[in-house]
Structure 1
Amino acid sequence: MNTQPTEQPTKTIRRFISYHQNPISVLLLSTIVGIIAGLLCTAFDIVIDWLVNGRSTWVKTEGGVSALTIAVVVITSALLSAFGFFLVKRFAPEAAGSGIPEIEGALDNLKPVRWWRVIPVKFFGGIGTIGAGLVLGREGPSVQMGASVGRMLTDLFRINDDEGRHTLVASGAAAGLAAAFNAPLAGIMFVVEEMRPQFKYNLISIKAVMIAAIAATVVYRSLQGQGAMIPLPAHSDVPLTALALFLLLGLIFGFVGVIFNRLVIITMDGFERLHQHKTGRFVGIGALLGASFGVMLLLLPKLTGEGVELIPNSVNGNFALSMLALLFMARLITTLICFGSGAPGGVFAPMLALGTLFGTGFGMFSMHLFPNMEITAGMFAVAGMGALFAATVRAPITGILLVIELTHNYELILPLLITTLGATMTAQVVGGKPLYSQLLQRSLAKQKAANKPSPTPQKPSSDAPPKP
């Protein structure tokens, strides 16, 4: 009889992973990161859809807008939003907002990734605030949760070298965005382009990012289908004589993007002065926002939520020019309020809606000025989606790929290139900085101020991760 003790499976795995200099082990772990991040982000998407669609169905079965439905929706939205704000304030302040600046800071070894707190807080908190009807996107939470999954695996398998930890966190970020938008190319390019100051590019890291994005997309499509997330009608080729109009639209968006970024910072500072980092005030603001957007869900639904449903309506010409202007201004205000409040949620989807509304209006005005030119407002709507993203985030290629993968409008690549390039160049010329870089610098400055020696002793916090 063999009396030799058998090695435990977990020890075998750890022994394999301990050779993390071997690219095969890093690529294997990036696959696992992609699968877990894909499952987590797809579940996040499904639960939010269930909550939003369930509320809409209930209102219809109760006969539409009435005193009863308004009261129930307002109360539930206030509770959901307050719940999300409370989780952030009490357990993981770094989960406020999109969380993308936190991941960029982590890739630069400037920020910790407390995945054991961030993942549940971002998941349930994001469901609360987005489900309450606030103007927030799902992509920010997905990116932060995906990157946190990457860090979780490095802790579980005790990967201690910076290169391996960095690669898996970046892979998780790409997987999160890919699963959020069903857009693997955009997820990959987001890490390579937008996170270029932090991302350590080499053959292993880029392969790991690609594998994680692919795995997350396969998971998403297996559960949610393979169709375009924002199906739009195909457009004919844009006349070459009209390309100057797309360049002009991009130049305008460059200024709009810089103004938008500054307004985000101003709004955040205003909310901080309002709640003064006090839990009661912070949660109270969340409840008030939830109640307000609960009312708007029934009376002004176009001003609530991510705004993705507005994109096909705009492209199909369902809004007059005056309505487009009103919607753009109103949603600009609601986007700034919700994102600036510190609620857990992203801003990608709301920005895409804003870009579409502005682009559609520009297209309708251009059609009026040049009636003989073979252009449609929908062409400019699609170009506007990528242009505002490029001007604010300063990632034109990511914006182009994101729009193409979301809409399957491959015919508009050339106008998208011209518009996003014009927007990016204008934003750079006028001195604007990328949104997430500004938010990261703002967060680091506050962190530095908070870490100054205090005259009174502070109780040490238990921020150590659970031992694997």
Structure 2
Amino acid sequence: MLSVGVAIVISLIAKVLVSLINLVTNISFYQQFGFDFHSPASNHLGLWVIVVPVIGSVIVGLMALYGSKAIRGHGIPEAMEQVLTNQSRIKPAIAILKPVSSAIAIGTGGPFGAEGPIIATGGALGSTLGQLFTVSSNERKIILAAGATAGMSAIFGTPLAAVFLAIELLLFEFSARSIIPVALACITGAAGHHLLFEAGPVFPMPALLVPSNAALGIYSFIGILVGFASLGLTKIVYFIEDAFEKIPVHWMWWPAIGGLAVGTVGYFAPRTLGVGYDNIISLLSGQLSISVILSLCLFKFISWAIALGSGTSGGTLAPLMTIGGASGAALGYLLHNLFPGLDISIPMSALVGMSAMFAGASRAYLTSILFALESTHQINGLLPLLGACSGAYLISVFFMKNTIMTEKIARRGVHTPDSYEPDLLLKLRVSEVMDRNPVFISPYNTIAEVRRYFGENPPMENQYAVKEPTGDCLGVVSILDLFQPSADTEKEILSIIKPVNAHIKNNDPLKKALAIMSQNQHDFLMVFNSREGGAFEGLLSYRDVVKAYHVNHESESRTGRNLSLDRQAKKIIVRGKRMMADRRP
């Protein structure tokens, strides 16, 4: 219910954000008051167009200085950091400052998309709601992810891609308890898109034909090349960001420097100004000339990389798709001219380039594929997208340590999970790791006798179990109590024993055992057989649990041939090996 409530609110905010971007654009470039979309590329300001992004960037810098520094940046990395380090707590002010600052930055010509700000805004709204209600940090993370991805779904009408964005970049888990609330929120966001925005695909394009096998190979090759481009793009963005760190002026003025670059590039290449969704539609239509495509690819990248590195407020998805789409279309033109016999479609090349760039730069593999399909409604693009995104993803994994989303937080020492594996503590049972022959102390030994024993055999545990000769476990003895100077060494161990009520069954998971240990502050648990009236079987200690991690890692990383064969097959293989040995010179 909380997730759906956040989705309803963020859908309305998404409409307000887009309208606000249009309003600022109309005022800045056309001196008109209106909420209809007009591309800043059609402005007639001349050289004055250089000043407009600078003014917007100065306003954003002041908002960051006197409002919250957290409004700077892409949006998604900041949300990821709060999930990983701050129990999904985001300041409520971000829910207001982020959309306003982004609308000003984008509306004055910033080469960003609206998706980053709305994701950050939705995340902040969800986190705020999670802080107001009595929920756990994990539940707050789910509400945060629901708000963030519902915002993306409201902007683009892509609920399935938004769900996988949450899984790959925010939740870091794959479970029903998290997916269901997020899915309901994304469905709500999509309903908001259909109600508040235009119907149909966000990026309409000509109908795509089913590609041939040769064309599939070409599209996969384009994906590999775009994957290499995504490496260079990511490294250059952070190189520019590092360069800004060395500029001897206050960081508040960095966005203004970036705005000056945006305005200068926008004067020579007006298509680079603003959010640029119309550029993506033009690329996917296949009607742009090769010169315009190359110009858009190069100048959009320069403008976006400098602006993003300066620390202003905006998203990365739309610029990545524009640059990737232009790269794919340019490669499609080149390969079509080199191999005129192949049925290479320029719109398809742009589509796979767009998706492959996002897959390579962010490693949001499934999100990239599903977003391209949902935003264009072109199901025939599935196989080319799979091939291209797989190629780009593999290039990114092999040649780049971090992604454009994780590099910033990795520099702060935050590790981002890159795999979703079953919980080892739930997978392993107590019987698999318990100690069946532990060291016990007799209750009738004197303290002096036990001290002499441990003097010759240094203790490996902090506590030891005390067991009757009949097999009944009476409790535990602490090493600290045993070697207490005030202890009467002539007394029996019974005098310092502590009862233990906590126990575990041999078929229980290790996660339950650790929970009981932590709750009762015991170093080990007594293990009993799971059958009714089960007998005492042994002990489970923290050391056994740690050892289980080591053993499991070794078993999963050990290589070898493990083909199961019956006896007859083994005899045939052995006979074959002997025959081959007899033929050797």
Task: Name the TM tier (shorter chain).
Answer: 0.7 to 0.9
Query: Would the aligned equivalents of 1:136 and 1:349 in 2 still touch at CA under 8 Å?
Result: yes
What is the 5 A alignment of 1:351-362? 351-362=320-331
Give the 3 Å change call, closer, same or farther, for CA 416–110 of structure 1 in structure 2.
same
Partner of 1:178: 153
1:84 aligns with 2:53: no
Partner of 1:215: 188
Deviation at 1:91, TM superposition (A): 2.0
What is the 5 A alignment of 1:198-277? 198-274=171-247
Tell me the distance in 2 between the aligned counterparts of 1:316 and 1:201.
36
Tell me the distance in 1 between the aligned counterparts of 2:105 and 2:84.
29
Deviation at 1:73, TM superposition (A): 5.1
Partner of 1:96: 72
Partner of 2:169: 194
Tell me the distance in 1 between the aligned counterparts of 2:95 and 2:319.
23
Deviation at 1:299, TM superposition (A): 5.1
Partner of 2:577: none
Give the 3 Å change call, closer, same or farther, for CA 71–303 of structure 1 in structure 2.
closer
Give the 3 Å change call, closer, same or farther, for CA 111–134 of structure 1 in structure 2.
farther
- Once the two structures are superposed, residues 186-237 of structure 1 have per-residue CA deviations (whole angstroms, 9 ceiling, x without a partner) of 1111011233xx5343322111000111112212221112221111111111
Give the 3 Å change call, closer, same or farther, for CA 395–80 of structure 1 in structure 2.
same
- Once the two structures are superposed, residues 57-116 of structure 1 have per-residue CA deviations (whole angstroms, 9 ceiling, x without a partner) of 5489xxx866xx447655554332211122123321122111211211222234763432
1:50 aligns with 2:19: no
Deviation at 1:298, TM superposition (A): 5.7
Identify, as 1 or 2, the structure richer in helix. Answer: 1
Deviation at 1:291, TM superposition (A): 5.0
Gaps of 5+ in 1: 1-27, 446-468
2:130 corresponds to which of 135, 154, 161 = 154
Highest RCO, 1 vs 2 (Cα 8 Å, sep ≥ 6): 1
Give the 3 Å change call, closer, same or farther, for CA 425–142 of structure 1 in structure 2.
same
Tell me the distance in 2 between the aligned counterparts of 1:442 and 1:400.
29
Tell me the distance in 1 between the aligned counterparts of 2:189 and 2:69.
27
Gaps of 5+ in 2: 33-37, 415-585
Partner of 2:273: 304
Partner of 2:109: 133
Partner of 1:388: 357
Partner of 2:575: none
Partner of 1:331: 300
Amino acid corresponding to residue 154 of structure 2 in structure 1: A
SS in 2 for 1:244: helix
Give the 3 Å change call, closer, same or farther, for CA 313–167 of structure 1 in structure 2.
closer
Give the 3 Å change call, closer, same or farther, for CA 241–291 of structure 1 in structure 2.
closer
Query: Would the aligned equivalents of 2:227 and 2:392 in 1 still touch at CA under 8 Å?
Result: yes
The alignment of Structure 1 onto Structure 2 pairs a total of residues equal to: 406
Query: Would the aligned equivalents of 1:77 and 1:291 in 2 still touch at CA under 8 Å?
Result: yes
Tell me the distance in 2 between the aligned counterparts of 1:65 and 1:237.
40
Tell me the distance in 1 between the aligned counterparts of 2:286 and 2:135.
55
1:121 corresponds to which of 97, 121, 125 = 97
1:342 aligns with 2:311: yes
SS in 2 for 1:98: coil
Tell me the distance in 1 between the aligned counterparts of 2:337 and 2:143.
51
Give the 3 Å change call, closer, same or farther, for CA 289–265 of structure 1 in structure 2.
closer
Partner of 1:20: none
Amino acid corresponding to residue 14 of structure 2 in structure 1: C
Amino acid corresponding to residue 325 of structure 1 in structure 2: L
Partner of 1:407: 376
CA RMSD of aligned residues (A): 2.3
SS in 1 for 2:174: coil
Query: Would the aligned equivalents of 2:28 and 2:108 in 1 still touch at CA under 8 Å?
Result: no
Range that drifts further, 42-51 or 335-344: 42-51
Give the 3 Å change call, closer, same or farther, for CA 115–423 of structure 1 in structure 2.
same
Give the 3 Å change call, closer, same or farther, for CA 443–38 of structure 1 in structure 2.
farther
Tell me the distance in 2 between the aligned counterparts of 1:151 and 1:228.
30
Deviation at 1:444, TM superposition (A): 4.5
SS in 2 for 1:434: coil
Tell me the distance in 1 between the aligned counterparts of 2:175 and 2:287.
47
Amino acid corresponding to residue 306 of structure 1 in structure 2: V
Amino acid corresponding to residue 366 of structure 2 in structure 1: I
Amino acid corresponding to residue 341 of structure 2 in structure 1: N
Query: Would the aligned equivalents of 1:132 and 1:290 in 2 still touch at CA under 8 Å?
Result: no
Range that drifts further, 337-346 or 304-313: 304-313
Give the 3 Å change call, closer, same or farther, for CA 363–33 of structure 1 in structure 2.
same
Range that drifts further, 309-318 or 117-126: 309-318
Tell me the distance in 2 between the aligned counterparts of 1:221 and 1:255.
37
% of aligned pairs identical? 26
Give the 3 Å change call, closer, same or farther, for CA 49–115 of structure 1 in structure 2.
same
Query: Would the aligned equivalents of 1:261 and 1:435 in 2 still touch at CA under 8 Å?
Result: yes
Tell me the distance in 2 between the aligned counterparts of 1:99 and 1:326.
27
Deviation at 1:420, TM superposition (A): 0.3
Q: TM-score, normalised by structure 1?
A: 0.81
